[in-house]
């Protein structure tokens, strides 16, 4: 067999290998889904998700609305009463 024949043969084998890998992958995913459902396995147990830890440390307010007395810690989205304004006007002195 000449070089071109060998290359064509390799390409045909590569196609067959890729087709078989695709079929095996589909079967593996189906089996994994079946087992997950059967044993009620969680993503955390599989190591594909992590437990999200909530920050439990308490932070005191840093800003106060003088009209309503509402406060804001300066974390997260700013409340409407402070948005677009100079925050120093609302700073709480400690």
pLDDT along the chain (94 residues), means of 10: 95 97 96 94 86 76 91 91 90 82
Which among 82, 55, 66 has a CA at the least distance from the CA of 74? 82
- The alpha carbon of 56 is separated from its chain's Cα centroid by a whole number of angstroms, namely 21
How far apart, in Å, are the Cα atoms of 23 and each of 13, 14, 26, 29? 15, 14, 5, 10
Q: How far apart are CA 75 and CA 78, in angstroms?
A: 8
pLDDT at 15: 97
pLDDT at 94: 65
pLDDT at 54: 73
pLDDT at 30: 96
């Amino acid at each position: 067999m000449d070089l071109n024949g060998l290359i064509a043969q390799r390409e045909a084998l590569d196609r067959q290998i890729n087709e078989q890998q695709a079929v095996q992958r589909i079967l593996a995913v189906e089996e994994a889904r079946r087992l997950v459902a059967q044993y009620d396995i969680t993503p955390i147990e599989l190591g594909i998700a992590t437990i999200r830890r909530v920050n439990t440390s308490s932070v005191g307010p840093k800003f106060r609305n003088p009209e309503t007395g509402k406060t804001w810690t300066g974390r997260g989205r700013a409340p409407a009463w402070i948005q677009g304004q100079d925050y120093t006007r609302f700073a709480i002195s400690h």
